[in-house]
Amino acid sequence: MNLIHVINGPNLNLLGTREPEVYGSETLVDIELRLTEIAAKAKVSIQFRQSNHEGDLVDWVQEAGGAGAGVILNAGAYTHTSIALRDAISGSGAHVIEVHLSNVHAREHFRHRSLIAPVARGVILGFGSFSYDLALQGLLASAGKQKS
């Protein structure tokens, strides 16, 4: 796995200003800079994308799956609603780690169900922006690229 895609869904472009008591004060750019450093040390390329549009996320997951790339996916609200995104993951064979900044199980009931989790390699949630770091470490370890 020489390439990892970090795909972010709706409203994640608002990180740092959107409900900082829930999502923290770091921006998406802050997270991207930190992950870029980790990936560089592991000699892995990393590509970041964010969209508020479901079809973009579906296209990007299919692209990553077709290339055999790993995916860190924070689908935002689409986690709970998008059969299309779930089908893109299972249909393309994408190696997905589902990520959430907050502990969705400690929040509103409608956030407790993920359509993505059953087709993802793993789910990491509740660690704020560090959830992304943990997902990257998981993908690197599964590809044998992480140093102990």
Query: Which residues lie closer than 8 Å to 94 by C-beta, 6 or more apart?
Result: 61, 62, 64, 65, 69, 71, 88
- If you ran DSSP here, which 8-state letter would residue 13 be given? G
Q: Which CATH class is domain 3-142?
A: alpha beta
> How large is the average pLDDT for residues 13-23?
77
| Per-residue pLDDT at 74 | 97
* pTM of the predicted model as reported, rounded to 2 decimal places: 0.91
SS3 31: helix
| Per-residue pLDDT at 126 | 93
**Cβ burial, residue 48 (10 Å; 0-12/13-18/19+):** middle
| Per-residue pLDDT at 137 | 96
The string of pLDDT tens digits covering residues 130-141 is: 999 999 999 999
Please count the CA atoms within 13 angstroms of the CA of 91 that sit on its side-chain side.
Answer: 12
Q: Do 87 and 62 meet the contact criterion of CB atoms below 8 Å apart?
A: no
Beta strand 3-8 pairing with 70-74: parallel
Question: 106 pLDDT band (50/70/90 cuts)?
Answer: confident
> How large is the average pLDDT for residues 68-86?
96
| Per-residue pLDDT at 148 | 40
Residues forming the active site: 23, 100
> How large is the average pLDDT for residues 101-116?
85
